[in-house]
Amino acid sequence: MPNLKVMLSRDQIQKRVAELGARISADFHGQPVVLVGVLKGATIFLSDLARNIALDATFDFISVSSYGSEKQSSGEVKLNKDVDNSMEAKNVILVEDILDTGLTMSYLLKVLRAHNPKSLKIAALLDKTSRRILPIHADYVGFEIPDHFVVGYGMDAAERYRNLPDICVVEE
């Protein structure tokens, strides 16, 4: 059983997510947005972010998996589930848990661009900038974090710990 140490508390997360929601509300003032959550890690972030966005907002979900071991992405990404609805001429905000190497996000951007949205932005709760391989920048970032494997608030280790209210570092 690994030891879990709180890195970001539920209060810190809620405060920051409210700030991101306020910024998105201001940036898209008067326009509808589509929040596209990346399954499954982003679901809890999306549900909190959405409630802090004072706009006409709809949800959609996309699912990808990367080949490779659990903690090390191989860079090969596979589309498991595309969005359900048309993104044509919509303001799309991709909602992701963590921006790490950027390989997954780069693939997601390619898939979403093929849907011809009006605009395409990225909201990432966490950003491990030191691990970046591809030059991907998120438009809305919750927290920049060092290179630690984290779980909780939607994020998993082998599907566990997604329901932890805080974001924790796994210490083996």
Q: Does 104 bind ligand IMP (CB under 6 A)?
A: yes
Q: Shortest approach of ligand IMP to residue 72 CB, angstroms? A: 9
3-state percent breakdown (helix, strand, coil) of the chain, nearest 5: 25, 35, 40
Burial (CB < 10 A; 0-12, 13-18, 19+), residue 151, is buried
Interface residues for ligand IMP in 132-161 (CB under 6 A)?
149-151, 155
Give the residue with the Cβ less far from ligand IMP, 1 or 158: 158
Closer of 40 and 121 to Mg ion (Cβ): 40
Residue closest to 11 by CA, chosen among 171, 165, 146, 145: 165
Amino acid symbol at 56: D
At 86, is the secondary structure helix, strand, or coil? coil
Cβ atoms within 10 A of the Cβ of 72, count?
Answer: 10
**Residue 73 interacts with ligand IMP (CB under 6 A): yes or no:** yes
Shortest CB 4 distance to ligand IMP, Å: 12
- Minimum distance from residue 32 beta carbon to Mg ion (Å): 25
27 is catalytic: no
Q: Which of 98, 125, 167, 168 binds ligand IMP (CB under 6 A)?
A: 98
Q: Distance between the two ends of the chain, CA-based, in angstroms?
A: 8
Measured from the CB atom, the residue of 78 and 118 that comes closer to Mg ion is: 78
The stretch among 36-44, 54-62, 82-90, 141-149 that binds Mg ion (CB under 5 A) is 36-44
Q: Provide the annotated active-site residues.
A: 100
